[in-house]
Structure 1
Amino acid sequence: MFRLNRLTDYAVVVMARMANDGCKVRTAPQIAEDTGVPLPTVAKVLNALARDGLIVSQRGASGGYRLGAPPERITVAAIIQALEGPIALTACVDGQSGHCESESLCPMRGNWDRVNNAIRGALEGVTLEDMTAGLFVPMGERRSPAALQQASGK
């Protein structure tokens, strides 16, 4: 089974919460409280996301973190790459060589690039804005599945 690691899943949750807050600067403890993700994990995720410019840290008394770009310009692919590196199902991707002992005999050599490109393209087609559609509705304003579907335009 192809699976993202837990830290990447938490990164999407953290970024979705930040997207919901707009341009508001939030501290790591506030984000941890809002998402239910443990503070040490939030700190680790924020560091990885900041390293790739997906979020921006601000120092000082009113410091914290904010998104590095509008949610409609941040893709799920960018979040995954910030936490896990290049998106690939196999080691033999993007013309790389020397990672496989059977490389010279492999009938699939080069063919995995098509699969990896398709997956990468699909993930690049989903934005943080798409991921937050219908999320974080205040507890007193919970909507039915039909209302959520209508709000998302489906």
Structure 2
Amino acid sequence: MKLTLFTDYGLRMLMRMASDPARMYSTSELANELKLSRNHLSKIMQQLARVGIVTTQRGGGGGARLAKSPDQLVLGELVRLLEEDHPLVECFAKDGGACTLDGQCRLKARLRRAEAAFLADLDNSTLADIALRPIGKRPE
């Protein structure tokens, strides 16, 4: 499976935020630290705020922070949310896509099972499990 850059960047951002969950992070700060596009991270942050993963605050001292503890944020659920508008294959699209093999394809069910297994495995881990360690700290 290949995740979209949207999901990849979203998970990186969340991993960083999980290292100090009470702290407010600006998208500019995260973009600089992660060496990613600020505009791209802003779009991801908006989606995460819309679904209640992060809370945001405007103005001086504002930014975003996790809305829940990292140990309550399941990786499979995060990937489902971030990949929501990006189906694995065209026929998985909400409108069914324009696949000409519909009704005779024997691959679709196998891909559904593989995708479900992938996400089920991620459901066994939380954001706390993959949080970045504070800079300069090594694992014990």
- The SS at the match of 2:103 is helix
Partner in structure 2 of residue 42 of structure 1: 41
- CA distance change for structure 1 residues 6 and 92 in 2, over 3 Å: closer, same or farther? closer
- The SS at the match of 2:52 is coil
The Cα offsets for residues 9-42 of structure 1, whole Å up to 9 and x where unpaired, read as 1111111111112211222222223333232222
C-alpha distance in 2, partners of 1:87/1:78? Answer: 15
- CA distance change for structure 1 residues 23 and 54 in 2, over 3 Å: closer, same or farther? same
Partner letter of residue 136 of structure 1? Answer: R
Written as runs of structure 1 = structure 2, the 5 A alignment for 1:1-154 is 2-85=1-84, 89-91=88-90, 100-108=99-107, 110-132=109-131, 135-139=132-136, 141=137, 143=138, 148=139, 151=140
**Structure 1 gap segments, 5+ residues each:** none
- The SS at the match of 1:136 is coil
- CA distance change for structure 1 residues 41 and 92 in 2, over 3 Å: closer, same or farther? closer
Q: Which moved more, 1:54-63 or 1:101-110?
A: 101-110
Q: Which moved more, 1:77-86 or 1:105-114?
A: 105-114
Task: Give the aligned length.
Answer: 139
Higher RCO (C-alpha 8 Å, min separation 6): 2
Q: Normalising by structure 1, what TM-score?
A: 0.71
C-alpha distance in 2, partners of 1:105/1:34? Answer: 48
C-alpha distance in 2, partners of 1:98/1:26? Answer: 38
**Structure 2 gap segments, 5+ residues each:** none
- CA distance change for structure 1 residues 107 and 4 in 2, over 3 Å: closer, same or farther? closer
Q: Which moved more, 1:31-40 or 1:63-72?
A: 31-40
Q: Normalising by structure 2, what TM-score?
A: 0.77
Identity across aligned pairs (percent)?
27
User: Whose Rg is larger?
Assistant: 1
Q: Is the 8 A contact 2:57 2:64 kept in 1?
A: yes
Q: Is the 8 A contact 2:31 2:38 kept in 1?
A: yes
CA root-mean-square deviation: 2.8
Q: Is the 8 A contact 2:19 2:134 kept in 1?
A: no
- The SS at the match of 2:22 is coil
Give the Å deviation of 1:109.
5.5
- CA distance change for structure 1 residues 86 and 120 in 2, over 3 Å: closer, same or farther? farther
